[in-house]
Amino acid sequence: MKTRVNYRANASTKMNILSPSQCQEVVMAAVETMERTGTVFHDKESLDILKKAGCWVDGKQVRIPAYITERALRSCQKHVVLCNSRTGARELFVEGYNAYFGSGPCTPFTRNPFTNERHRATRQSVAWATKVLDALPNIDYAMSLGIVQDVPLLVSDRHEFEQQILHTDKPIITVCNDQWGQEDCIKMAEIVAGGEEELRRNPFICLYAEPISPGVHCREAAQKLVMGAKKALPTIYTPCIMAGGTAPATMAGVMVQGLCESLSGLVLSQCTREGAPFIMGGVYTVLDMGTTIFSYGAPELHLLLAALADVAHYLNIPMFGTAGCTDSCIIDEQAGIEAALSIAMTNMSGANLNHDTGYSEYGTTSNLDLVVIADEVLGMARKLTNGIRVDEDTLALDVIEKVGPGGRFGKEEHTQEHAKENYAPRLVNRAARDIWAKAGGKSLTQVANEKVHDIINYHEPKPLPKDIATKIRDIVENAVGHMPGEDD
């Protein structure tokens, strides 16, 4: 018998960018910006809701008193769960320090995994992408990896959702063109879940909207946010901001600008319906001053989002992060470096729901080879954050003693028992050179591409019952598109 006191163990890695004091300072600066500078809402219903709640509304400019922001931070639901669409099983607990990973939405273009041709995303490309996401063990949820464009563009979101729900039972984050598209997608989700209340109890979809930085909430975004709150469905609000373009060039300034926009969205959500589940998003990066792109591979992206994760933990609200993406136009060494750095860093930061795996070409073109590579990187990254268990069994003094100098550990029962805890790669090559050469001497991207082919050709996602699929088809076929800027 042994007594041991004041013993502390790390069950995982520990990483922080901002201290609690710094988090507080950044949040207070954002709250001050909301109160002093405010943001603009291009939506009458939102302006009415905010005015009624006590915000200072001056035309479309809304300044939010600090007490309302503080109340919204208290009232939003902190426990957000996303479920399996077929079984309702509660799968993702988007809270605390849990980190989940998935793909990104809305790329206009995609690269065909069979022909390598870069083309506009289609129903088929989204179906293929969703199958790949469904098959990969480290991918936790699905975003579409493309805007369907072989259908009337104003109703593309309904077609996109149909392809997603047909090809995966993992939770889906759906990005709709506008409030009407979102209404239809919620209807489809309610049919799948078995009703409005069933969907609310076990939500398998998560809604998504984004402001236009700096500080502008367009009508579609505000309406989607209001609808999400009314339906009490988890809703992500994610500013995509560029240091030096739509925000100050300084990292702290970016944090303030981004938080000001996110938290203004939170206030709208909570003033619409107190307690509505809200997920604070962020794609914070730099405007590349050489090329003017919104960079998806810049180290500042990873740094800023890890800092945002610190703020999310400080505020105790769920967060939507970004990882697994690249500025590279093809899946090459640059793509691997940028995706791996972002995944490792984001995973260590404990950001909850992380998207954009599979983005290439600074977010304009999805690539399934990169998704498969990212799945392997995720396996490694998750091993990295597991920490090292230190106890009598793992210290293994008895085994060391038994085997002795010059002995072999391979045949020991202890080895057989524990070896499987170590990471077993499924994609990267560790074979001897001759064996690798005999297998075709393939690069990682080639192996990943073959895996994409295999999944598309042979993987069978859990099917959606036929009668439900028919009802969904019906909604898609009867969808009515709304031209942006009209219907005011």
Partner 1 sequence: MAGFEELSKGVIGGNQAKVKELTQRLIDEGAEPLEIINQGLIAGMSIVGARFKNGEMFVPEVLMSAKAMGSGLEIVKPMIADADMPSIGKVLLGTVKGDLHDIGKNLVGMMLESGGFTVINLGIDIAPEQFVAAIKEHNPDILAMSALLTTTMLHMKDTIELLKEEGLNDKVQVIVGGAPISQDFADEVGAAGFAPDAASAVELCKRLLN
Residues that bind partner 1 (CB under 8 A): 42, 108-109, 120, 147, 149, 153-154, 156, 177-178, 212, 216, 218, 242, 244-246, 287, 289-293, 364, 483-486
Shortest Å distance, C-beta 33 to partner 1: 19
Residue number with CB closer to partner 1 (99 or 293): 293
DSSP-derived letter for residue 391 is S
Taking the C-alpha atoms of residue 468 and residue 364, their distance in angstroms, rounded to an integer, is: 33
Give the number of other CB atoms < 10 A from CB of residue 7: 6
Q: Give 262 or 365: the residue with its C-beta nearer to partner 1.
A: 365
Q: How far apart are CA 51 and CA 57, in angstroms?
A: 6
DSSP letter for each residue of 158-211: HHHHHHHHHH--S-EEEE-SSHHHHHHHHHHHHHHHTSHHHHHHS--EEEEE--
Give me the least distance between CB of 288 and partner 1, in Å please. Answer: 8
Of 140, 145, 175, residue with least CA distance to 157: 175
How far is residue 436 from each of residues 280, 440, 443, 445, measured CA to CA in Å? 45, 7, 10, 14
Which of 275, 265, 175, 264 is CA-nearest to residue 226? Answer: 265
CB of 54 to partner 1, least distance (A): 26
Distance separating alpha carbons of residues 349 and 419, to the nearest angstrom: 27
- In whole angstroms, how close is the CB of 286 to partner 1 at the nearest point? 11
| Least Å from the CB of residue 236 to partner 1 | 18
What would you measure as the largest C-alpha separation in the chain, in angstroms?
A: 81
Residue nearer to partner 1 on the CB measure, 242 or 317: 242
d(CA 222, CA 56): 17
Rounded least distance, CB 41 to partner 1, Å: 11
Q: Smallest distance, Å, CB 293 to partner 1?
A: 8
Name which of 152 and 387 has its Cβ closer to partner 1. 152
Q: How does DSSP assign 52-82, residue by residue? A: HTT-EEETTEEE--HHHHHHHHHHSBS--EE
Minimum distance from residue 418 beta carbon to partner 1 (Å): 49
Query: Closest CB to partner 1 among 150 and 198?
Result: 150
Q: Measured from the CB atom, is 17 or 287 closer to partner 1?
A: 287
Shortest distance, position 153 Cβ to partner 1, whole Å? 5
Q: Which is nearer to partner 1, 41 or 128 (CB)?
A: 41
Q: Looking at residue 440, what DSSP letter applies? A: T
Minimum CB separation of residue 213 from partner 1 in Å reads: 8
Cβ closer to partner 1: 53 or 176? 176
Nearby residues of 23 by Cβ (< 8 Å), 6 or more positions away: 310, 311, 314, 315
CB of 486 to partner 1, least distance (A): 7
Q: How far apart are CA 319 and CA 309, in angstroms?
A: 7
Query: Are 160 and 150 within 8 A, CB to CB?
Result: no
Closest separation between CB of residue 389 and partner 1, Å? Answer: 47
Burial pattern 446-476, b for ≥16 Cβ within 10 A else e, equals ebbbebbeebbeeeebeebeeebbeebeebb
Q: Where do runs of H (alpha helix) occur along 236-323?
A: 251-272, 299-315
Sign of the dihedral through C-alpha 147, 152, 158, 163: negative
CA angle 437, 443, 447 (to 5 degrees): 100
| Burial readout 199-221 (b: 16 or more C-beta within 10 A, e: otherwise) | beebbbbbbbbbbbbbbebbbbb
Sequence length of the chain is 488
Distances in whole angstroms, Cα of residue 116 to Cα of each of 110, 132, 329, 368: 9, 16, 12, 11
- Among residues 309, 316, 303, which one has the least CA distance to residue 342? 303
The residue (of 69 and 144) whose beta carbon lies closer to partner 1 is 144
In the complex with partner 1, the residue whose CB is nearer, 212 or 396, is 212
| Minimum CB–partner distance for residue 358 and partner 1 (Å) | 17
